Amino acid sequence: MSAVPASGAASDWIALYLERLAAQRGYSAHTVSAYRRDLHAFAGFLEQLGRPLTEAAADDVRAFVAAQHRSGLSAATLKRRLAAVRGLYRFLQDEAAVEIHPAQDLRAPKGSRRLPETLDPEQMTALLEHGDDDILDLRDRALFELIYSSGLRLAEAVSLDLVGLDLASARVRVTGKGGKTRDLPVGRKACEALSAWLQVRGQLAATGEEAVFVGRHGARLGARAVQARLRRRALLAGLDTPVHPHMLRHAFASHLLESSGDLRAVQELLGHANISTTQIYTHLDFQHLAQVYDRAHPRARRRKDEDDY
């Protein structure tokens, strides 16, 4: 046990607690400083209520959290403040200063989930259609069209082998998280870009290399190289936001969902574990997914004049 402060004042208990965090539990100076602000804010709130620290009840802690929430603190800050208060009262229990932990079962208000960054269809068009016709640009266009066309993760795209690509039937087979394999439609624009790339791929690819996408030295293209090439392409296309490969996957999902409204199909196409491993969705076979895809994906739909013939 630590020495009980003679005054029993809240500030003395807080100082002892923070001392323990730093000395015995190895908390950083930054965290200790943040907890100090949090706990003094809590002690000040109790003082306004006329409540000693060691006599606070669950309703007092709840009122503190509510007041902090109304003041505009972020969910992350509220969560940390409540964690600081919980830790303080565990310490006070260890020191036999309190019998009941008033913050034991309280939870901080949940903040709204941050939406993933994405690009609108016009930005995607600018990104995908920008460029020259040199061999690296043909490769990049095919790669980025495929990621956006089929909602691939970066790791799925760079690990794709020639055997997994079937342009004749406009589909690609990828292996995602957990080793799960899924067949996905490939849109018309992506098929065209991939066909153009495959015609010149042999100029770069080393003998026996099975990767669809290869780098300057003939070996499989790496994830970091893809990230750098996409950033460069976005800048040259005049986009005013930093672009990374996962944004293309987010764009795929958001644009398809906006057009189709078919959440299950979109989740299946993305290969999310909570869908692909659930029996109830087994009726979503490839044919159904392809139909939803053809109706809804901005770069899979045929132009109206093509549909008329």
Of 90, 130, 153, 244, which one is the catalytic site residue?
153
- C-alpha 80/C-alpha 101 separation (Å) is 17
Exactly one of 25, 40, 177, 302 is catalytic; which is it? 177
Known catalytic residue at 101: no
Given the residues 62, 79, 90, 272, select the one marked as catalytic: 272
Active site residue 297: no
Q: 68 to each of 33, 88, 90, 101, 110, how far by Cα in Å? A: 18, 18, 22, 20, 13
Among 249, 250, 255, 299, the active-site one is 249
Active site annotation includes 304: no
> Which helix (H) or strand (E) element contains residue 175?
strand 171-175
Q: Is 272 a catalytic residue?
A: yes
Closest CA to 186 of 223, 213, 128, 147: 147
- Are the CB atoms for 118 and 250 separated by under 8 Å? yes
Total residue count of the chain as it appears in this document? 309
Q: Are 210 and 161 in contact (CB under 8 A)?
A: yes
List 246, 264, 288, 301, catalytic entry: 246
- Which residues make Cβ contacts (< 8 Å) with residue 120, sequence separation at least 6? 251
Say if residues 124 and 118 touch (Cβ distance below 8 Å).
Answer: no
Question: Residue 249 catalytic?
Answer: yes
Q: Is 217 a catalytic residue?
A: no
Query: Which residue of the set 20, 173, 281, 288 is catalytic?
Result: 281
Catalytic amino acids? 153, 177, 246, 249, 272, 281
